[in-house]
Amino acid sequence: MNASEYYRFAEGRRSTRLFRDEPVDPDAVKRIIHAATLAPTACNRQLWDFVVVTDTKVKDRVLRLSHAEQSYLHDAPVLLAVFYDATLESRNPCFTPYVTAGMAIYALLLAAEAEGLGAIYLGGIRRPKGVAEALGAPAYATNLGLICLGQRADNPPAPPHRQVDDITGYNAFRLTPKRYHADIRPHLWSLPQIADFRDKLLWYKGVAIDGPTLHVDNDARFSPKCLFVTGELGRLTQERAPAKVLDVFSYNGDMVQQLLNSAGDELETLYAYDLTPGILEYVRVRLSGRCDLARVQYLLNRTEERIDIPLPDQHVDVVLCYERLEHFEDPLPLVREMRRVLKPDGRILVAVSNRFYPHLYRYRRTHRKDYSLGRNWNRGPERKYEPGQLARCFREAGLTVVQVTGLQPVSQKLFEVAEKAARRLGWQGLGDWLADRRGQHYSTRSWLRNFSSVQVYELSAS
Ligand SMILES: Cc1cc2nc3c(=O)[nH]c(=O)nc-3n(C[C@H](O)[C@H](O)[C@H](O)COP(=O)(O)O)c2cc1C
């Protein structure tokens, strides 16, 4: 293989997230593990161990004890658990055990590609210790994740890659202005950085995953929160038929899909607006074949430096912004743009995370006292808002609040805690009653909306 053939081969490797229900040749698995043993290792110690899991009972135990939810772990006919003895080099300043294991894992993935097999490495496992427990690993062997192997049933496009010139310095570190942070406090992020982050991050789950296999993670599209917002969106669209709808930061396209699959003639055009062509391409690829995209127009922010929706003034009937204001320390520029493109009798629907909900373990004050953060790293810069801050912002943008609904109010949380306690005490009847009450408290327009996990605002032009 010459150099250009090698680069083409490496470029063609993709993480596979859909597997066919077909066995894998055990000799191929052996060859793939052999490839891992050829990887460089610190001091040539080779302190790795692998466990091949093909028995479904063992696999179930691995997934149960590790709290792993990804559908591909269930579907893949072979799981490879990767272990490394990190005890010896535990204080090495270059983290050599983990670097070594990473090299072996990449060698495995390339070998799987060469064998014509699909593979994916998963580090998003909640409890890797559970993998070790399920497989009877000794205490010195640290589990460093799982690899799924099998015949691939998807053919995902390549995700966007950062350019060599953006990430390479010559004789000195290259400080590139577009680099995103290992810190999710929004005041540190410029707009191009937010765009860059969303552009790359979005693809991490692949494009095909939650269509055919709805058991990946907790399916967000069927959460009560999402159903509430899509219901409201449907109502506002219906009232303004034939309506032009703008989805702000469409991200994974879930809202686009919901609206297209449920709306009839009342929907005229659906604008999917985002910051980079990569995101819009993701939405397009992910949704093609799942809904008719004829009524969708993809809109790219007009300039890199500020929020600028490429639509004329007073053009759309309904604007949706579903948990995206959270990216910004100051949401006003985005809210102003939404207001600008809104027709005089149009409506804006905004769902935002509320600072005053006791998120408990997820709630974290920052060094700056004026906001708190979420914990979900996969969503990029993310803050939570106080209702008063939003009220001021909407007023300044020339918007009037028509109604506010609190989703998951604190009362629901209290019923949940009480229900758990009752069940622990064996009072199942009381537990059932409390569960029932909890279900009735999902949304509220009372003052408790100020202590809800999420608030949904319906806004009109003042
Ligand atoms: C350390 C690490 C952890 C990863 N964990 C997950 C994971 O938990 N779930 C997942 O779907 N993909 C996971 N991946 C795969 C990446 O999402 C994937 O490599 C990336 O999106 C680029 O896509 P590609 O592999 O097709 O080039 C992980 C990759 C690495 C290197």
Task: pLDDT tens for the chain, 462 residues: list them.
Answer: 899 999 999 999 999 999 999 999 999 999 999 999 999 999 999 999 999 999 999 999 999 999 887 888 989 999 999 999 999 888 888 899 999 999 999 999 999 999 999 999 999 888 999 999 999 999 999 999 999 999 999 888 888 888 898 889 999 988 776 677 777 888 889 999 999 888 887 777 777 766 555 444 545 556 888 889 999 999 999 999 999 999 999 878 888 988 998 999 999 999 999 999 988 998 998 888 888 999 999 999 999 999 999 999 999 999 999 999 999 999 999 999 999 999 999 999 999 989 888 765 455 555 565 666 666 667 788 888 889 999 999 999 999 999 999 999 999 989 999 999 999 999 999 999 999 999 888 999 999 999 999 999 999 998
Torsion of the alpha carbons at 12, 15, 17 and 18, rounded to the nearest 10: 30
Spatial distance between the Cα atoms of 10 and 1, rounded to a whole number of angstroms: 12
**Ligand 1 atom 18: the closest Cα is on which residue?**
204
Residue 71: what pLDDT? 83
Q: Which CATH number fits domain 3-150: 3.90.1150.10, 3.10.180.10, 3.40.640.10, 3.40.109.10?
A: 3.40.109.10
Q: Which sequence spans correspond to the domains of the chain? A: 3-150, 220-461
Ligand 1 centroid vs 233 CA: distance in angstroms?
A: 33
From the alpha carbon of 156, which atom of ligand 1 is closest?
26
Q: How far is CA 248 from CA 78, 143, 252, 321, 388, in A?
A: 40, 40, 12, 5, 23
Does ligand 1 come within 6 angstroms of the Cβ of 160? no
From the list 411, 418, 457, 454, the residue with the least C-alpha distance to 434 is: 418
Q: Give the amino acid at 31.
A: R
Ligand 1 geometric centre to CA of 433 (Å): 43
Ligand 1 neighbourhood includes 123 CB (under 6 angstroms): yes
The pLDDT, as a whole number, for residue 361 is 47
Cα 121 to averaged position of ligand 1 atoms, centre (Å): 6
Query: Is 394's C-beta closer than 6 angstroms to any atom of ligand 1?
Result: no
Class (C level, CATH) for 220-461: alpha beta
Asked if residue 39 lies in contact with residue 233, where contact means CB atoms within 8 angstroms, the answer is no
- Residue 232: its pLDDT value, please? 96
DSSP 317: E
Whether this prediction's pTM lies above 0.75 is answered by yes
Q: Please tell me the predicted confidence (pLDDT) of residue 114.
A: 97
Residue nearest ligand 1's atom 22 by CA: 204
- Exposure string (b/e) for 129-163, b if CB count within 10 Å is 16 or more? ebbbebbebeeebbbbbbbbbbbbbbebeebbeee
- Say if ligand 1 is within 6 A of residue 120 CB: yes
What pLDDT does residue 89 have? Answer: 84
Is the CB of residue 271 below 6 angstroms from any atom belonging to ligand 1?
Answer: no
Q: Verify whether ligand 1 is closer than 6 Å to residue 322 (CB atom).
A: no
Around Cβ 79, how many Cβ atoms within 10 Å? 25
Q: How many angstroms does the Cα of residue 89 sit away from the middle of ligand 1?
A: 26
Q: Is 15 in the pocket of ligand 1 (CB under 6 A)?
A: yes
Q: Check the CA dihedral 141-142-147-148 and report its sign.
A: positive
Which residue CA neighbors atom 6 of ligand 1 most closely? 122
Which residue(s) pair with 418 in the sheet?
A: none
Reduced to 3 states (helix: H, G, I; strand: E, B; else coil), residue 426 is coil
Output the CA 147–ligand 1 centroid distance in Å: 10
Q: Is 86 touching ligand 1 by the criterion CB < 6 Å?
A: no
> Residue 284 forms beta bridges with which residues?
none
Residue 385 near residue 330 (C-beta atoms within 8 A): no
Q: How far apart are CA 145 and CA 81, in angstroms?
A: 6
Which atom of ligand 1 is least distant from the CA of 204? Answer: 21
Ligand 1 pocket test target in 66, 108, 121 with most atoms within 8 Å of CB: 121
Question: How remote is the CA of residue 302 from the centroid of ligand 1, in Å?
Answer: 31
